[in-house]
Structures are given as structure tokens and as C-alpha cells.
A and B are shown apart, each in its own frame.
Chain A
Amino acid sequence: MILDSSKQIEILANLIPPNSRVLDLGCGDGAFLEYLIRERGCFGYGIELDDENVGICVKRGVHVLQLDLEQGLKLFEDQSFDVVLQIDTLQHLKNAEIMLKETARVGKMGVVTFPNFAHWPNRLSVLNGRMPVTKHLPYEWYDTPNIRVATFKDFQSLAAKNQLHILEAFGMNDNQRIGYFSNFRASTAVFKFTAQITSPE
């Protein structure tokens, strides 16, 4: 997970109701989950595959489960969490659509963030004939772990295809929330959604 400022952590944390049961898919070093536990009274688990990150999570006292997300969420029952998070995880997954469905199955609410490929500097770079290498997409095309590149708009259509109800959608730049023209203006796309017909609010 790449949350590079405390402001970003705060913006995302505000999407999560206090005292929620949270499952953080691809929780990285567990910093965000620890924040949710400490600042918002949440209880939760993080899923992470990387050995080093698992070690750091354990050190923080975050309940980390070393599982491979490509195997789905078979250990988790339907609607057993208030919130399931995919913070900068989706772009690393081969089975991104299956995991989105799984997120909506296990969580009463899902929060997904990913680098918005349609952010204007990326467009400019492609217009110049080169894949973008930026702060948020720091890799070259041949060594990037981001096996899915998607835009803000792309996610909206994938969510519609899977009958997800988007509760909130906005873009995020370094330290701020972007409310309009997010597909163009935001480096990171943020979606909060539910599979339920009625919103949980």
C-alpha cells in the first residue's frame, strides 16, 4: 500500500465508520490498519503475502494473515466484515474482477483505491509515445508490478458490470481530495461501494 502522506491516510480513514470490522487486502506493512485500530477503534485483519511486510505487521501487533489473494477469500464468510479494503492492491492482481466480487461478498462495504492511469501527466506521456513513469507509477513498463492499468472511468464501468452500488467516488492527489474531473485531475482513484441493494447508512 502506498499512502504517502498522513493527509491521505486521514482522507481514506474518514471513509470508514468508527469501530468497524475491517479486512485489509494487501495490507503491506500494516500502517493503515494500525491507524484504523488506534484512531478509529476498528478491529481487523490484514492479508499480505510478502514475508518482510508480514514481519513488520506482526511487530506492530496487527493481525496479519499470510495468504495469496489470487486464491480468493475462501476463508471468509459472506458479509462477515463491515469494510473490506483494497488500498492500491487491485493493480497487482491477476484476478482483479474476481477479487472485486469477493470484496463485495465478504464486506458490507468495499473501499478500493488504485493509480488512475488517466491522470493528465500519464496522458501527456502516452501522447508523447512513452509509458508514464511518475511518482505514483514509478516503474518502467518492463518491470512494473502493476499488471493492471485502469482509469477512474474504467472502474466505474467494472463496478456497474458487477452490480456494485458506488456510495462515494473521488480522486486524490498528494494531499487533497479531488471532487470533479477526477478522471483527468487525480493521480489516485478512490471508490466506496456496496453490493447491497440498500445502502448500509
Chain B
Amino acid sequence: MTLIAEAKKMHFQEPLPLQSGEVLGSYDLAYETYGQLNPDKSNAILICHALNASHHVAGVYENEPNNVGWWDNMIGPGKPIDTNRFFVIGVNNLGSCFGSTGPKDLNPNTNEAYGADFPVLTVEDWVDSQERLVSALGIECLLAVMGGSLGGMQVLSWSIRFPSRLEHAVVIASAPNLTAENIAFNEVARRAIVTDPQFHEGHFYRYGVVPHRGLRIARMIGHITYLSDDVMNTRFGRALQRDKLALQEGHSNAQDQKYHYTTQDVEFQIESYLRYQGDKFADYFDANTYLLITRALDYFDPAKQHGGNLSQALRQTKAKFLIISFTTDWRFSPARSQEIVKALLDNRCAVTYANINAPHGHDAFLLEDARYMTVVKNYFEQL
């Protein structure tokens, strides 16, 4: 049975105070819901998204049958998060480019697009805005908040900021903060965007242009970090692009195995793949959103105000946790998930932890893996 999703929007008039000290005036949040909220409103699960995703978590739109939600393998009727049982909420984060108020929207003070003037956001700000949506939907306590990667950081933040508003926290392929290497990757991506001549210091909308080049390179770098060396080697290895093209044209023995000795053309298949991913991304993603979201990742560090002590930061937490990591994820390695597990153990919290032996690197959290799906399914079945 295909789940039909419907994008909704809620307007919030009350200004939102941000961690930076700035205030966001009125704003919209785009969201979707799946399944039915039960009479005592105890079956709601909030899904937090990562870098480039949105509120479109599951199902397809009636008039766009190919536009499948980003976590459709996890959420839906009969799936690990079974929408026959649970009321699932997908929300688009502020600053995004998919419906919630973001840099592309009009700044009411200038009547121009916010662009670079959109306030800098943090994970905490997102969680505060999500809490308002949850309250507006009449839900006092969420059964669970769940997310992967940056989404997992939001879950962690929920458990700290609103300890009595969630029963379960499901944190997948995430980390309690970014390492220097992770910040470094983000910075390279940001520099690629900011130094694109079409960026115009973030006000490119005025000029009717888009910093495609910067976005492409940002995405290419990001994409490398989401995969594992093994997966890249299995999928592409050192295969040459022209061999692939020749095969497609029907020349079965077309592998000439010869280099073309070019420095600028695509030679290896991996190059073609990254360029394709970059092009696709640059066509739909907003450059200012990319800067804002990677910055939110960099800033996230709930232990910071506790002298770096994560156990202290999680002291108020009441939720029961399910933590999942993937063995080949080097962007958010299992060791980082285990830091969260340790902090929860120190606080004598209920925690279940699965370290899934999957080859796909960080991307594994979005992919179908029987062990991964079983753990999530079994966890929710026993609730």
C-alpha cells in the first residue's frame, strides 16, 4: 500500500529567541504527518532530518508518484516505524529551502530575500521551534524523537532541553559534537560556496544567479565523506568512464584500458559519479541553507557549557535511548556513538546500543540493512 503524503505548513506568530541572541520574528514550519494520533495522544514520533533532507519523510505525493520520502524504507505501513500504529511527524528545519522559513524567503524588514542576513541557527534553535509545532499539534509527550546524523543531534538536544516531553530518544549515526576533521570538511564546503563569484556575499537572489559551482564542489566533498573506501572501491574502483560509455553503446569488448592523459576531462568513473551528484544537488539546494546547516553542525556541543562533560550535560535526561552506529562510518564513527552511550550509563539511563556491521559508511543510516531494520522494528514493537 502506498502511503500518500501531504505537505502542510504552520505559521508561528510568536518570535523565536535564538542561541545567538538574535530573534527570528514570525516564521513558518513545513511538516507532514503519517498515521493517526490516538485519543490519548501517546503514539506520536517526531523525525528530525539531517543536512539536505526535509519534512517529506515517507510516502509519495498524490501528484508526484516518484517523489518518495527520504526515510520511506523506515517509515510507513508495516515498516519498522509502523504508521498503522504510530503517528509520525516530519518537520523541515528553519533555515532550510524546502518550505520552512529560510534565506530564500522575504525578510519582512527589507522586503527582500534574507540571503546572508538570515540569522545563524543552532540545533537548539531547531529543537525549540519543533517543540512549538509539537505543542500546536496538541501533543504533550512524544513517544519518541528519532533522527540520523545531524538529526540525531537534534534528538540528543530534545532530551536535554525538554526531558519530560519525550519517552524515547533514537539517535542514529550521530555524535555528541563534531571533530576537528569534521569541521574541516564543512569549512572546505563553505569556502567553495562563498568564493564562487556568483555567491555575491549571500545575496545572489538579487542578481538572479545561483552559485552552482560552489554548491557542486561542496556536495562532492560531502559525498566522499558519506561513503566508505570499501564501497567506493567496490562500486567504482579504478574503472574508466569511457569503458562504461562504450559498454552502454553496445561495444561488449570496448575496454581499451588506455588513459587519455587529460587533466580536465572525466577519466575515472568515480569522477563522473561525483560530478553528477554535485550537479543534481546544485539544482535544488540553496547555498545559504548549506552554510547555515553546516554551521549548526559545527556549533553543536551540548557538553560545552559543562566543561566538556557530556555526562553532566545529560544529567536531566529522562528518555530511554536507542543508539545505533555503523562500523564503516568514519564521518560519525561508532566511537562517537559510544561516547553518548557512556554518558547515558554514567547517568544510569535506559540505553540500548547496536553497532551495525554495514559496509556503506555514514550513508548506511538511510539504506536498507536487515540487521539495522530489525533492531529498530523490534525496539518499537516492544513499546
**Chain A residues near B (Cβ < 8 Å):** 21, 43, 45, 51, 54-61, 63-67, 75-77, 80
B245 within 8 A of A: no
Beta-carbon contact of B374 and A63 below 8 Å? no
Report the separation of the CA atoms of residues A76 and B356 in the bound assembly, to the nearest whole angstrom: 21
Cβ of B273 under 8 Å from chain A: no
Q: Provide the bound-state CA to CA distance between A61 and B371, in Å.
A: 17
User: Can you list 16 A-B pairs, Cβ within 8 angstroms, ordered by A?
Assistant: A21-B348, A45-B351, A51-B356, A54-B354, A55-B374, A55-B375, A58-B379, A59-B378, A59-B382, A61-B382, A66-B353, A67-B353, A67-B355, A75-B341, A75-B345, A77-B346
B379 near A64 with CB under 8 A, answer: no
| A4 smallest CB distance to B (angstroms) | 25
CB within 8 Å for A54 and B375 given contacts A60-B382, A65-B351, A66-B354: yes
Bound form: Cα–Cα A60–B352 in Å = 12
B375 CB contacts on chain A under 8 angstroms: 54-55, 58
Could you tell me the distance in whole angstroms from the C-beta of A164 to the nearest C-beta in chain B? 24
A38 to B231, CA, bound (A): 44
B342 x A75 contact (CB < 8 A)? yes
Chain A residues whose CB sits within 8 angstroms of the CB of B356 once the complex forms = 51
Bound complex: CA of A76 vs CA of B351, how far in Å? 13
- Say whether B352 contacts A55, CB under 8 Å: no
Q: How large is the interface on B (under 10, 10 to 19, 20 to 34, 35 or more residues)?
A: 20 to 34
B residues contacting A by CB (< 8 A) are 322, 338, 341-342, 345-346, 348, 350-357, 371, 374-375, 378-379, 381-382
Chain A neighbourhood of B345, CB < 8 A: 45, 75-77, 80
A54 CB to closest chain B CB, in angstroms?
6
A58 touches B351 (CB 8 A): no
The minimal Cβ–Cβ distance linking A50 to chain B, given in whole angstroms, is 10
Given contacts A54-B375, A58-B375, A58-B379, contact A75 B351 (CB under 8 A): no
Q: Min CB distance, B245 to chain A, in Å?
A: 40
A62 to B, closest residue via Cβ:
B352
B371 contacts across to A, CB distance below 8 A? 51, 54-55
Chain B contacts of A65 at CB under 8 A? Answer: 341, 351-353
CA distance A154 to B371 in the complex (A): 39
Complex Cα distance A67/B351, Å?
13
The 9 tightest CB contacts between A and B, nearest first, are: A59-B378, A58-B378, A61-B382, A75-B342, A65-B353, A55-B374, A66-B355, A51-B371, A66-B354
Chain A residues in 8 Å Cβ range of B353: 64-67
